Amino acid sequence: MKKLNRDHVVYTMSRQHAPVLTIKDGETVTVHTYDCFRDRLVPKDSSFDSLRFDELNPATGPIFVDGAEPGDTLKVEILRISLADMGVTEIDPDFGCLARLVKAPAFKRLPIEDGKIRFSSRLSLDQKPMIGVIGVAPADREIPTDTPDTHGGNMDCTQIKEGASVYFPVSVRGALLSLGDLHACMGDGEIGGCGVETAGEVTLKLTVIPGCQKPYPVVVTDSRVMAVASCKTVDQAWEKAVEYLHDYMVTETELTSDEAIMLQSIAADLSICQTVNPNKTVRMSIPLRYLEAYGYRQK
Amino acid sequence: MKKLNRDHVVYTMSRQHAPVLTIKDGETVTVHTYDCFRDRLVPKDSSFDSLRFDELNPATGPIFVDGAEPGDTLKVEILRISLADMGVTEIDPDFGCLARLVKAPAFKRLPIEDGKIRFSSRLSLDQKPMIGVIGVAPADREIPTDTPDTHGGNMDCTQIKEGASVYFPVSVRGALLSLGDLHACMGDGEIGGCGVETAGEVTLKLTVIPGCQKPYPVVVTDSRVMAVASCKTVDQAWEKAVEYLHDYMVTETELTSDEAIMLQSIAADLSICQTVNPNKTVRMSIPLRYLEAYGYRQK
């Protein structure tokens, strides 16, 4: 298994970045990542003055996957997420949808141990590790790592977790995958702009699926299949997520278009992934077994 | 226990409607309801011609609760939802966000038995009964039963289910509760406009909580607390749901405003209830035990 340390980070996803690692189709790699503040709020004596705004959302990479060509799909299996022992969360009078209620920036260092996150002496939260930033290089643009789009990026989707597979459209040779911004947990919506931000190590298996590109990210967990959409507004994003999942259902199963709409209405769930990035993100998910009943087979 | 049959339905929620039943504070009542099409698509030989568009979303009621006064809260405990043995779902070229893909109206009769909904010979769905329309009379307006707002109404919230308690602001004497539009199951978003629509019987306990009105509906299940917001757009509704839950957390617990925002960011979930009614509905929910750690006690 290959390893990639975090000396090599990017702040955009772009075909211009030279790969820092090349791996074979089907190979496994462990990637070390910073938290979204480049770990600057982790030290005990840290303050907001430690933050550097040109260093937000570092993503380790990019990784060149041998054999990935434009028009293919990159399957990213998340085999393991291992977190650091300290997380950080932050609120700011200039950020998030309750910013008007925040008088001064504030952050909280949150110890992570035994699967729990210590919020205070009164409350420990359940750990639900996830990857905030993960994506491939777009065809013709350079997209900041804080921005989600059809290439992936800062989707902040709580379902991009251990055991999930994420499918990306490959737009450039080698796909050029980068990732970072782990969260020990996060609420769907991430309304203040932060989950429990943490560094960590992610073990991934990368596989090229030739010639079956969907122009949007798809996530499959052990129980659900979902399409992820990111747009300027949540209203635009939920409409896209509905459209994407419908497209996926009619092309990947034997369901008719009408049946797919009915099943989406009665059994698929719209959740707001995040509301704070330059594009907002919504996912629509449906139970895996409902699609398998109509011939769906995970690739 | 009182019983209310469905001879008495309303198509608006309004202080103008004469109560059809008066019950005591703390009393239990079983209410029989039609499905949202007034059961017109249930008979085997039914067709779209059977539908009457002045008969959509009938709600049984209103019920006058003794002692409920403006400024109070009405607590509605949903003790039991018992469904009919047939559900219906429908799609339409004039309705829902994938309407452009629907060539002609179509509906499907879906047998309900043993906790399952038979979608086809290939697929049975898990039953998750819920109440689509439930609310009280607004102070000064007459609101159609198809429309959700701060009085409740057509919220189509999947968490309004057996075992949940729903808290409504009382705006008129007696509260004037009405309900209908049961779903055997529904996806969060209800993107085509229907869940599995069905008739049934709901057993409720109604309690007046004096003088602690929140100007929005709150739902508490066995594991989560949530605020529900309905606005013209999903973007407006999610912002309101965030604001409502924040207000609820800082008034009902010992959390500071900053702590509440942090907890909302890292642990509270935004879900889209429905996208097809005249107002769109979003809920934000947080684990009950996280609030209990800060002194929350359910009333």
The mean-pLDDT minimum among A132-136, B3-7, B46-50 falls in B46-50
Q: Are A199 and A36 within 8 A, CB to CB?
A: no
pLDDT > 90? residue B216: yes
Question: Does the distance separating the beta carbons of B235 and A188 come in below 8 Å?
Answer: no
What integer pLDDT is reported at residue B15 of this predicted model?
Answer: 97
Q: Which range of residues forms the domain containing residue A197?
A: 2-209
Residues in chain B: 299
Largest CA distance in chain B: 59
Angle, helices A257-267 vs A234-252, to 10°: value is 130
Let me know whether B159 and B285 are in one domain: no
Does A79 reside within a domain? yes
- CATH code, domain with A155: 2.60.120.580
Let me know whether A197 and A227 are in one domain: no
Q: Find which of A41, A186, A197, A265 to mutate to test the B interface (most B CBs within 10 Å of its CB).
A: A265
Q: What is the distance in angstroms between the Cα of B287 and the nearest Cα belonging to chain A?
A: 10
Let me know whether B182 and B233 are in one domain: no
Question: Does the distance separating the beta carbons of A290 and B185 come in below 8 Å?
Answer: no
Does A297 reside within a domain? no
Question: Does the distance separating the beta carbons of B235 and A270 come in below 8 Å?
Answer: no
With cut-offs at 50, 70 and 90, classify the pLDDT of residue A43. very high
Mean per-residue pLDDT, A2-10 = 96
Read off the pLDDT of residues B3-42 as tens digits, 9 standing for 90 and up: 999 999 999 999 999 999 999 999 999 999 999 999 999 9
Q: What is the distance in angstroms between the Cα of A119 and the nearest Cα belonging to chain B?
A: 9
Q: How would you classify the pairing of strands A73-83 and A106-113?
A: unpaired
Q: What is the distance in angstroms between the Cα of B236 and the nearest Cα belonging to chain A?
A: 9
Distance CA A243, CA B169 (A): 37
Does B108 reside within a domain? no
Does A49 reside within a domain? yes
Q: Are A195 and A186 within 8 A, CB to CB?
A: yes
Contacts of A239 in chain B (CB under 8 A): 97
Domain boundary (B150, B182, B209) is at: B209
Contacts of B292 in chain A (CB under 8 A): none
Does B103 reside within a domain? no
Let me know whether A146 and A117 are in one domain: yes
| B189: nearest CB among A191, A259, A284 | A284
Distance CA A92, CA A98 (A): 9
Q: What is the distance in angstroms between the Cα of B247 and the nearest Cα belonging to chain A?
A: 11
E strand or H helix at B117: strand B116-118
Does B119 reside within a domain? no
pLDDT > 90? residue B53: no
Let me know whether A147 and A272 are in one domain: no
pLDDT > 90? residue B213: no
Whose tokens are 């979608």? That residue is B119
Let me know whether A178 and A260 are in one domain: no
- Among A128, A248, A245, A255, smallest CA distance to A184 is for A128
Does B120 reside within a domain? no
Mean per-residue pLDDT, B68-96 = 97
Q: How would you classify the pairing of strands B59-65 and B21-23?
A: parallel
Distance CA B76, CA B166 (A): 5
With cut-offs at 50, 70 and 90, classify the pLDDT of residue A212. confident
A27-65: b (≥16 Cβ within 10 Å) or e: bebbbbbbbbbbbbbbeeebeeeebeeeebbbbbbbbbb
The mean-pLDDT minimum among A45-59, B65-79, B112-126 falls in A45-59
Mean per-residue pLDDT, A132-157 = 97
What integer pLDDT is reported at residue A10 of this predicted model?
Answer: 98
What integer pLDDT is reported at residue A1 of this predicted model?
Answer: 87
Q: What is the distance in angstroms between the Cα of B162 and the nearest Cα belonging to chain A?
A: 18
pLDDT > 90? residue A26: yes
Read off the pLDDT of residues B191-212 as tens digits, 9 standing for 90 and up: 999 999 999 999 999 999 998 8
Largest CA distance in chain A: 59
Q: Find which of A88, A191, A269 to mutate to test the B interface (most B CBs within 10 Å of its CB).
A: A191
Let me know whether A224 and A205 are in one domain: no
Let me know whether B196 and B135 are in one domain: yes
Read off the pLDDT of residues B238-281 as tens digits, 9 standing for 90 and up: 999 999 999 999 999 999 999 999 999 999 999 999 999 999 99
Mean pLDDT of chain B, nearest integer: 97
Question: Does the distance separating the beta carbons of A265 and B96 come in below 8 Å?
Answer: yes
What integer pLDDT is reported at residue B297 of this predicted model?
Answer: 96
pLDDT > 90? residue A63: yes
E strand or H helix at B258: helix B257-267
What integer pLDDT is reported at residue B1 of this predicted model?
Answer: 86
What integer pLDDT is reported at residue B49 of this predicted model?
Answer: 86
E strand or H helix at A251: helix A234-252
Domain boundary (A176, A209, A242) is at: A209
User: Would you call A179 helix, strand, or coil by DSSP?
Assistant: strand
Distance CA B27, CA B74 (A): 12
User: Would you call A189 helix, strand, or coil by DSSP?
Assistant: strand
Read off the pLDDT of residues A165-199 as tens digits, 9 standing for 90 and up: 999 999 999 999 999 999 999 999 999 999 999 99
Does B142 reside within a domain? yes
Q: Are B209 and B67 within 8 A, CB to CB?
A: no
Let me know whether B191 and B263 are in one domain: no
Distance CA A49, CA A41 (A): 9
Angle, helices A234-252 vs B234-252, to 10°: value is 110
- Among B224, B294, B218, B297, smallest CA distance to B259 is for B294
Let me know whether A222 and A180 are in one domain: no
Mean pLDDT of chain A, nearest integer: 97
What integer pLDDT is reported at residue A53 of this predicted model?
Answer: 86
Question: Does the distance separating the beta carbons of A187 and B264 come in below 8 Å?
Answer: yes
Mean per-residue pLDDT, A92-120 = 96
Let me know whether A172 and A67 are in one domain: yes
Let me know whether B190 and B252 are in one domain: no
- CATH code, domain with B256: 3.10.28.20
Question: Does the distance separating the beta carbons of B119 and A239 come in below 8 Å?
Answer: no
**Number of structural domains found in chain A:** 2
Instruction: For chains A and B, count residue pairs whose Cβ atoms are closer than 8 Å.
Output: 188
Domain boundary (B192, B209, B226) is at: B209
Read off the pLDDT of residues B88-139 as tens digits, 9 standing for 90 and up: 999 999 999 999 999 999 999 999 999 999 999 999 999 999 999 999 999 9
User: Closest-CA residue in chain B for A191?
Assistant: B265
Type of residue numbered A144: P
Question: Does the distance separating the beta carbons of A271 and B270 come in below 8 Å?
Answer: yes
